[in-house]
Structure 1
Amino acid sequence: MSEKTRRARALSAGAGVAIAALALAGCTTTSTPDSGSSEGGTITIATTNAFTSFNGDTPEANLDTNGMVGYLTGVSGGLGLGGFQRLDKDFSVLNNTDFGTYETVSEDPLTVKYTINEGLTWSDGEPINADDMLVNWAINSGYFDDAELDPATGEVTNGGTQYFSLAGSTAGLDTTAFPEIGDDNMSMTLVYSQPFVDYELVNPIGKPAHVLAEKAGVSEEEFVELLKTLPEGNPAAPVPANETLKAAADFWNTGYDVTAMPTDESLLVASGPFIVTDFVPEQSITLGKNENYKGEMSPAYDQLIIRFIGDANAQVTALQNGEVQAIQPQPSADTLTALENANATVHAGNQLAYDHVDLTFGGVFADANVREAFLKTIPRQQILESIVTPVNPDAEVLNSQIFLPTDGDQYTTAVAASGYDQFTEPDIEGARALLNGATPTVRILYNTNNPNRVDSFRAIQQSAQQAGFTIEDAGSPDWSSLLGSGSYDASIFGWVSPGAGNAALPQIFKSGGGGNYNNYSNSTVDTLVDESQVTVDADALADIKVQIDTATAQDFYGLPLFQSPGLFADNGSIQGVDYFGGQTGIVWNAQEWTLAG
């Protein structure tokens, strides 16, 4: 929902949605590919957002650029190039059989076995085996957690421990028993106590077990033995946190966040075909070939430089000047015109992403009448026409928090049920009537480096003031780190989906969810979200989603604004760039690119 992005099973806000944050434009060293050669050399591209963390699976680091790097290096905890699966252009699942295989052993109970191929190693030469799968299962299942969380705030209320802070959700894996590990330590079998709608998207490979063990002060063998002997967490009877597991979790939660190229090379350990070799904050990150990678996706070129250029015009200029060979700018009519003038090859389409306004439950918006009044002031049609229509004349105001117009009949059904379409144009008089003379102050958070978000804020500010609201500008270039901080009342940002799965539902809409930054809590929705994760019938699942969508509208949760257009472009010096509307953006097939010889 740049957009912020999370595991393949989550939205990136960054899942079901990625959040788009514009990075500061900066200069970096540029490289010129070997003339006339299609082998070796360097490819340089530009994206909007800056890189901030080698672990994009936490709520604070759930940004699309972090997810791109995790995807290429194979340590994102989601679908990628260094685990069991990735997504094709049409969002179908591609199995990475050069890494391993997985099979459904039984459907009742649901039992899935993962087997890693023999002889694979991490980039530092350490073997990849079931230890790594077990550790990542522990991270993503919440098996050892014994914390009870406040349904509204997500805060621990019983003195227990929540070890790993996930941007996504433990839904699905939290129903699995402790895994069965194969005698050769190369396989892991998961047994679910309930059906799990997204079980085929579970990739039990993320951060290396030996690195987390080292950060916890123990050997890999000792760390794995701890997991095998530590009791399952019980929120009804919390116990003091295990110091070793807590140390590993604390490092996983924050230790991968960086503001400079790390001197600790263990942060760079990769399983995929790429490995990070350099990082210049606010400017660029460089990936080279992982020499220990044994799969079929090693690139033909030597290194990939990703530059962070927040300004779309600056991206086009860099492309035209040959400083970069491909770009993923924020789409606009001006950008398209500039690309046409630059004779660039344009790859455009819809993103599985949407911009939205969320209201924080509590404070000024504790009163449903005030929430409804504020939503009545949002000029959604005006925002659409200023931002999206120039790029996509057929675009319409978005009227669902879950479905997109490209979902066809499901979207139409959801709109008819929810009533979000009643908020297309402002109703200032209706808002004034609900306020009944009150003049509430609303602080709005948005990305001040993103022209589209600035335009949305100004349009909302101007309209809401007419109804009696006092609007305070809480915009910040560091907006993503402020989400959920309580320093604002409404937020404008975007979610981008990985393109498959249903993990966005617990991530965003469940009480205490990893992406539930506005403290939304509805017990009926919580029940529906839980049902969505165990419902495998497509029609029944769609109906549950419609019910969740309708409930958010009735609660005046906020308003969806528009489905985001997507845009890539290249200057003809590389081959293989192809449009993809999911979280990983332009780098989704970077392993297949070649330099034009």
Structure 2
Amino acid sequence: MKLRTALMGAAAMMLPLAAQAQDEGGERGRDGHVNIIYWQAVSIMNPYLSGGTKDVEAASLVLEPLARFDPTGELVPYLVDEIPTVENGGVAEDLTSITWTLKEGLVWSDGTPVTSEDVVFTWQYCTAEGGGCAQGAKFDAVSSVEAIDERTVRVNFSAPTPYPYTAFTGAESPIIQAAQFADCLGPRAPECTDANFMPVGTGPFTVTDFRVNDVVELAANENYRDASKPAFATVTFKGGGDATAAGRAVMETGEFDYAWNLQLAPDVIESMAQGGMGVPISAFGTLVERIEVNLTDPSPDLEEGVRSTVEAPHPFLTDPAVREALSIAIDRDLLVEVGYGQAGRATCNLVPAPELYADAENTGCLTQDLDRANQLLDEAGYMDTDGDGVRETPDGEPLSILYQTSTNAVRQDFQALIKEWWEQIGFEVELRNIDSGVFFGGDPGSTDTFQRFYADVEMYANNFPGTDPQAYLGAYLCDNIPSPDTQWQGENINRYCDESYDELWRTLSQTGELDERGRIAKQLNAMLTSQSNVIIPLVDRGRVSAHSNTLGGVQLNTWDSELWNAADWYRTE
């Protein structure tokens, strides 16, 4: 089963005929048990305290937003009956507010009513003073959230906001129960382990057992709003291992029904598919493998609270010439060939899609140029004065880089290749890989999370929900820098701060004309990539997962959680 066939088109998917059949409905829990495996183990069931995709997606089985994005990127209602627009009166004509109306009779999994106060509280939770919120960019344009009545909530913006659908939409911004999290505001948020591990939700499942970085056991939500769903009574959500074991567990041995993010060489996936127990499913979206550059000093010689904070600028990565040299030294086409084949495309963009927002002219990084990289470093005064092969700063500090990523075969292959290229232009490179459950976790006490960033550069992939990149690009605003004061939460892990970027983003948030939004987004993308190389994009990755031949209803979704419609899954035989 060739991946090149699976990846023809942004929403292409390979599904067996049985899986395309429609479930005829029936009694909740009728199909027994389903097994899901994410080789990046779940650390927490609260997406507001973790930016890790595996945590966000696991939580999406329990916690839901007001609206989600379907596999085409279209916004569809979940906890509401319709999407507010200017035409239906839900969005103010002056674009300064959006009003949502909850479904009638909506209840939490504990049987209590869901009200507009829960929506208000969710905003208060993420913006509470003294706390840190991994999804803070979703609320950057929001000035207040108010309950109009028990089912109606109004989100007010600080200025006219033509795209009002960032807060409370998509898997990263669900509604949490005010009663459960009432004592978990600000600095206390990470301490509420019961709520963070076993949240009360409106989704199709509830957590019955949670083991950090291991397994989550779930059961059907008896108060779910559709009496015939979910079809599965129980779920085992297993974490850990690696992508190879996860793929085999679905496609070769049949031990699991769904395996996420098979970041494997294409020939390996094709070989697994020959096992006959399951099939890979694939689609391109906005997932970009990238290198993030730390603009602050992660040296262990610095005291805690200063290390990797804006108080300590990096000794050489703050120099644009150094960052450009690192970028153009990389052969992205070879990375694609080695790591992804037809499931990858070399890119210089942080925002690779949709077409309106993707800068087709940003191609300068696609050609590897070691000579130019060396020239840039020479001209900037970085010389190898002692002949050991490593350049030094004018102050005599070696250009030594700690390059970290999560433990994964493809990523370690990338590290080895990039280390070789960077050494050719005079850098000393130490490689480090961290268990993905820890690296992408949100534990404020861990020094190994990607948000804390105790390294010079780090590599991972990320994407944004839906088809509009406003909130995604808002992650790099000055106010979103992680620090001890935010318990190391915040999306701006590079510690990038440019007032002109912030101002341009504010212009984007107030611009309604689509072509102009596209132009501004491309400019913001360029400021982070080709103009500064604070972010070094590598590969526009197709999402590849797999499901068993007996699991029906799966619709791979690159614009939201892959588990976005788990309530519709069922057993085909």
TM-score w.r.t. the length of structure 2 is 0.77
Instruction: Give, in angstroms, the shift of residue 431 of structure 1.
Output: 4.8
Q: Does 1:52 align with 2:20?
A: no
- Contact persistence 2:40–2:242 (CA under 8 A): no
Q: Does 1:579 align with 2:556?
A: yes
- Contact persistence 2:287–2:462 (CA under 8 A): yes
Letter in 2 for 1:131: E
The equivalent residue for 2:270 is 337
The equivalent residue for 2:564 is 588
Q: Distance in 2 between matches of 1:550 and 1:576?
A: 39
The equivalent residue for 1:104 is 90
Q: Distance in 1 between matches of 2:223 and 2:273?
A: 41
- Contact persistence 1:414–1:550 (CA under 8 A): no
Against the structure 1 CA distance between its residues 588 and 116, is the aligned structure 2 distance closer, same or farther, given a 3 Å change threshold?
A: closer
The equivalent residue for 2:160 is 195
Instruction: Give, in angstroms, the shift of residue 291 of structure 1.
Output: 1.0
Decide which of 300, 313, 325 is 2:257's aligned counterpart: 325
Measured on the aligned residues, the alpha-carbon RMSD in Å equals 2.9
**Corresponding residue pairs, total:** 485
- Contact persistence 1:376–1:431 (CA under 8 A): no
Instruction: Give, in angstroms, the shift of residue 118 of structure 1.
Output: 3.8
Instruction: Give, in angstroms, the shift of residue 305 of structure 1.
Output: 1.8
Against the structure 1 CA distance between its residues 532 and 295, is the aligned structure 2 distance closer, same or farther, given a 3 Å change threshold?
A: farther
- Contact persistence 1:381–1:424 (CA under 8 A): no
- Contact persistence 2:281–2:545 (CA under 8 A): yes
Letter in 1 for 2:56: G
The equivalent residue for 1:124 is 110
Decide which of 382, 396, 399 is 2:334's aligned counterpart: 382
The equivalent residue for 2:5 is none
Letter in 2 for 1:508: Y
Q: How does 1:245-264 map to 2 (within 5 A)?
A: 248-252=185-189, 254-255=190-191, 262=194
Q: Distance in 2 between matches of 1:315 and 1:527?
A: 44
Instruction: Give, in angstroms, the shift of residue 523 of structure 1.
Output: 1.8
Against the structure 1 CA distance between its residues 205 and 345, is the aligned structure 2 distance closer, same or farther, given a 3 Å change threshold?
A: closer
- Contact persistence 2:325–2:374 (CA under 8 A): no
Q: How does 1:470-489 map to 2 (within 5 A)?
A: 470-477=428-435, 478-480=438-440, 481-485=448-452, 487-489=454-456
Moved more, 321-330 or 352-361: 321-330
Gaps of 5+ in 1: 1-36, 75-81, 146-160, 216-246
Tell me, what secondary structure is at the counterpart of 1:114?
strand
Is the helix fraction higher in 1 or 2? 1
The equivalent residue for 1:31 is none
Against the structure 1 CA distance between its residues 98 and 396, is the aligned structure 2 distance closer, same or farther, given a 3 Å change threshold?
A: closer
Q: Does 1:73 align with 2:62?
A: yes
The equivalent residue for 2:244 is 313
The equivalent residue for 2:16 is none
- Contact persistence 1:349–1:566 (CA under 8 A): yes
- Contact persistence 2:259–2:545 (CA under 8 A): yes
Gaps of 5+ in 2: 1-27, 296-312, 385-390, 393-397, 441-447, 482-489
- Contact persistence 2:44–2:196 (CA under 8 A): no
- Contact persistence 1:45–1:326 (CA under 8 A): yes
The equivalent residue for 2:288 is 354
Letter in 2 for 1:500: T
Instruction: Encode CA deviations 1:309-352: one digit per residue, 9 max, x unaligned.
Output: 43233123322222112222224224322323212323222242
Instruction: Encode CA deviations 1:8-38: one digit per residue, 9 max, x unaligned.
Output: xxxxxxxxxxxxxxxxxxxxxxxxxxxxx99
- Contact persistence 2:326–2:373 (CA under 8 A): no
- Contact persistence 2:141–2:158 (CA under 8 A): no
Letter in 2 for 1:279: F
- Contact persistence 1:100–1:117 (CA under 8 A): no
Moved more, 550-559 or 521-530: 550-559
Instruction: Encode CA deviations 1:488-515: one digit per residue, 9 max, x unaligned.
Output: 1111111122233320011135453421
Instruction: Encode CA deviations 1:185-225: one digit per residue, 9 max, x unaligned.
Output: 33222343422243134328522111122x2xxxxxxxxxx
Instruction: Give, in angstroms, the shift of residue 301 of structure 1.
Output: 1.8
The equivalent residue for 1:236 is none
- Contact persistence 2:405–2:432 (CA under 8 A): no
Letter in 2 for 1:71: S
Against the structure 1 CA distance between its residues 45 and 383, is the aligned structure 2 distance closer, same or farther, given a 3 Å change threshold?
A: same
Instruction: Encode CA deviations 1:89-113: one digit per residue, 9 max, x unaligned.
Output: 1110111266787551521253322
Tell me, what secondary structure is at the counterpart of 1:169?
helix
Letter in 2 for 1:321: T
Tell me, what secondary structure is at the counterpart of 2:90?
strand
Instruction: Encode CA deviations 1:465-524: one digit per residue, 9 max, x unaligned.
Output: 122111122432243443343521111111122233320011135453421111112221
Decide which of 73, 76, 87 is 1:94's aligned counterpart: 76
Tell me, what secondary structure is at the counterpart of 1:353?
strand
Q: Distance in 2 between matches of 1:402 and 1:99?
A: 31
Tell me, what secondary structure is at the counterpart of 2:48?
coil
TM-score w.r.t. the length of structure 1 is 0.74
Decide which of 566, 573, 593 is 2:543's aligned counterpart: 566
Q: Distance in 2 between matches of 1:486 and 1:97?
A: 36
Percent sequence identity over matched residues? 19
Letter in 2 for 1:62: G
Q: Distance in 2 between matches of 1:186 and 1:197?
A: 24
Tell me, what secondary structure is at the counterpart of 2:210?
strand
The equivalent residue for 1:415 is 362
